[in-house]
Amino acid sequence: MLTDFQQQVYNLAAQIPRGKVATYQGIAQALKNPNASRAVGNALNKNPYAPQVPCHRVIKSDGRVGGFASGTKKKEMMLKKEGLKINKGKIDLKRYGYEFRIKK
């Protein structure tokens, strides 16, 4: 059974288009819970909707790829397959970052 928080995280992650990434912090902020970055990561680690909910497109705020249930190498491979460039273990958020548009 999913919590409301988990469902909200999955709904936001599902919006991230191919070739873009969002951050755990960005999802937490979009949920108006800026201190919930770790909880976002934990929810994505248990993602029952993969690959429809592309949790591999969520990375750390500093551009590092971060963890992945199937391993970091697999996450990097999936992101590269979508056209993202990873340089020294980081993704350029200015180039590939996705900003959530939250309705007020």
pLDDT class for 104, splitting at 50, 70, 90? low
| Domains recognised in the chain with CATH numbers | 4-96 (1.10.10.10)
Structure tokens at 3: 């919590």
> Is residue 9's pLDDT more than 70?
yes
Write the pLDDT tens digit of every residue in 21-73: 999 999 999 999 999 999 999 999 999 999 899 999 999 999 999 999 889 99
Compute the average pLDDT of residues 4-31: 97
| Measured distance between the N- and C-terminal CA atoms of the chain, rounded to whole angstroms | 29
Query: With helix as H, strand as E and coil as C, how does 11-74 read?
Result: HHHCCCCCCCEEEHHHHHHHCCCCCCHHHHHHHHHCCCCCCCCCHHHEECCCCECCCCCCCHHH
Residues facing 90 on adjacent strands: 64, 87
User: For this structure, is 61 an active site residue?
Assistant: no
Instruction: Please pick, among 21, 30, 31, 55, the residue that the annotation labels catalytic.
Output: 55
